[in-house]
Amino acid sequence: MRAWHVEAPGPLASKPLHLRTGPVPRPGPGELLLRVVACGVCRTDLHVTEGDLPPHRPGVTPGHEVVGEVVALGEHVGTADTAGTAGTVGTAGTAGTAGTAGTAGFAVGDRAGAAWLRWTDEQCRYCQRGSENLCPHSLYTGWDADGGYGEYMTVPAAYAHRLPDGYRDTELAPLLCAGIIGYRALKRADLPPGGRLGIYGFGGSAHLAAQVAMARGATVHVLTRGEQARRLALELGAASANDAADMPPEPLDAAILFAPVGDLVLPALSALGRGGTLAIAGIHLTDIPDLNYERHLFYERQLRSVTSNTRQDAREFLGFAGEHKLAVTVHPYPLDAADRALDDLENGRFDGAAVLVP
């Protein structure tokens, strides 16, 4: 099989990604082997490739927005007729025995999704209280284990996702991280019913979160540097779309920062009305300038981070996507052009999301 590997993390100009041929992986206990049919290109892949995120697995294959066909089952994976047993702690990158959620019902030929969250211990205090995204032993697709920038990959069945009908494979791929993490960020932003939401940056995740918010009755104001992205925002129903440095036309009840630019934290906080919340959706952010308490935080404004997502977040969002047809803007690239897709992402050459098609 062919797959891209991060040989030496660094700027894209240094060619950190290399396309190599190797054996098809074998599914371990509790795992599915997927033939990749589409893989979204996420900004987190860029952070892994360029070294903004410290390497966890030398030569890792990036990619965690994966739509695949199940081609083999590991031991202890429940089928449509046999549910899996309760989850146990596995070794790094494996699922242990079949986990507690989503393990039963997968069979060869099924369509399944693999997302960023690959594994948690299910036993720590965070997992036990329903915050598995904070598990200190959690593992991630395309960072701790090989992801979808290749022709095949494995995923623990307990962390694989059922996918909604009504979408092409290329449209489904961005839902598996961009969509899910945008949904998580929207929850963290604590937007009141019918509230006013500001969105800073308007790429693959933001254009999906905006649609969820608008479907729930919110007024959405988009602030982003790209003219093409601003046009897309207005086409999707945003009330306004301006440059990232501008102020929105009215005070915001909540805001989400998708752009990994710390300098935008201050104007986003300033745009909030009393009691407003700013959620930062990215896994990486450049340094935040000094805050002024009275100008940026007083009147009970809040600043929140977003750390991965839970499987419950994924189930809720994918269920929403099944009930509400989302407009997913995608730009397909062949697998051979993964490095070009990342470069185009970094330089803002497209709106929506890029998707690799092996």
Residue 79: the pLDDT is 59
pLDDT single digits (tens) 309-334: 999 999 999 999 999 999 999 999 99
Per the structure, the complete domain to which residue 288 belongs is given by 180-305
What is the amino acid identity at position 242? Answer: N
Could you tell me if 214 and 121 lie in one domain? no
Q: What integer pLDDT is reported at residue 78 of this predicted model?
A: 72
Provide the pLDDT for residue 76: 87
Of residues 105, 143, 99, 102, the one with CA closest to residue 120: 99
pLDDT in the model for residue 86: 31
pLDDT at 241: 98
Radius of gyration of the chain (CA): 20
pLDDT at residue number 83 = 37
- Structural domains of the chain, count: 2
Buried b (16+ CB within 10 A) or exposed e, 27-49: bbbbbbbbebbbbbbbbbbbbbb
Co-location of 103 and 217 in the same domain: no
Q: Are residues 152 and 20 in the same domain?
A: yes
User: What is the predicted pLDDT for the residue at 348?
Assistant: 87
Side-chain half-sphere CA neighbours of 141 within 13 A:
31
The residues that bridge with 219 in the sheet, in sequence order, are: 196
Residue 140 lies in a domain: yes
Indicate whether 184 and 279 sit together in one domain: yes
Q: What is the pLDDT of residue 105?
A: 77
Please report whether residue 321 resides in a domain: no
Claim to verify: residue 267 and residue 185 sit in the same structural domain: yes
- CATH code assigned at 289: 3.40.50.720
How much is the pLDDT for 351?
85
Distance between CA atoms of 67 and 124, rounded to whole angstroms?
Answer: 30
Write out the two tokens for 287: 């340094």
Residue numbers of the chain with a pLDDT score lower than 50: 80-103
Q: Quick one: 297 and 341 in the same domain?
A: no
| Whether pTM exceeds 0.85 | yes
**255 located within any domain:** yes
pLDDT value at residue 95: 39
Q: 141 and 270: one domain? A: no
Question: Which residue type occupies 167?
Answer: Y
Both ends of the chain: CA-CA distance in Å? 11
Q: Where do runs of H (alpha helix) occur along the chain?
A: 43-50, 125-128, 169-174, 180-188, 206-215, 227-236, 265-270, 311-323, 338-346
> Token digits for 307?
């750390």
